[in-house]
Structure 1
Amino acid sequence: MARLILTRPDNRPEARSVLLKEIRNRCGELDDACALVARFASILVNRRGQEKLEQWTLDAEASTLSELHGFASRLRKDWDAVMAGLTLRWNSGPVEGHVNRIKMIKRQMFGRAKLGLLRMRVLPAS
């Protein structure tokens, strides 16, 4: 179910879309969850936090879905950081990419060499 709900509608095969529609028609609570999740995904993808996140949070907190209610209330605890992540153009993507690359090299070399060789592979030649 999570995969059905979280897959972009344009990437979802037709048979899966029909299945999700039938399930949503039978379960009102799941229909509400799907609508809230889709709105949140749109806010993330389109970076519309400033305009739409406040209303989404109010709707999620007012819903009967305890999971989304809890998620929304936890967003409020660090609201400034959430808003910064959704509105500012700066992010830690490049840094995370370098950390991921270094960890991959470290895993490849596990048990094979000491710190000197790791340093030579990680740091560019000067």
Structure 2
Amino acid sequence: MRPLPRPRLSARERVAAFVDVLVHRRGGAALEAWVQRAEACALPELRGYATGLRSDWDAVAAGVTHAWSSGQVEGQVNRIKMIKRQMSGRANPDLLRTRELADQ
């Protein structure tokens, strides 16, 4: 009797496994295993994403394994950029500083 073939995981299941690695901070070994499975899957989008992760592997692995994050800084940068977009090109440094100080 032949063994039954393993069912293929859907894209949703693969992405859920990736989220699990990130949210529960499973570490570099779990991330490495997920990337290897993604590189071998039939979905070209996931293969491309895995290739992108490999291109800057040190930063990706550090993001999963280290407890500290630059999220707070990135959030502030994103907020400043949004304000500059709202000002439609009128955001010279003096006006931007005035608006920032007025918001606080």
Per the TM superposition, whether the score is higher than 0.5 is yes
Provide the TM-score with structure 1 as the length reference.
0.60
The letter of the residue matching 1:68 is L
* Equivalent residue number for residue 63 of structure 2: 85
Q: Percent identity?
A: 57
* Equivalent residue number for residue 73 of structure 1: 51
**Structure 1 stretches of 4+ moved >6 Å:** none
Pairwise CA distance, 1:53: 0.9
Q: What RMSD in Å do the two structures reach over aligned CA positions?
A: 2.7
SS in 2 for 1:96: helix
Distance 1:83 1:121, change over 3 A: same
- Return the structure number with greater helix share: 1
The letter of the residue matching 2:16 is A
1:103 maps to 2:81: yes
1:39 maps to 2:20: no
Aligned residues: 96
Deviations 1:65-88 (A, max 9, x none): 222122212212211111011111
* Equivalent residue number for residue 4 of structure 2: none
1:61 maps to 2:39: yes
Pairwise CA distance, 1:98: 1.8
SS in 2 for 1:47: coil
The letter of the residue matching 2:47 is H
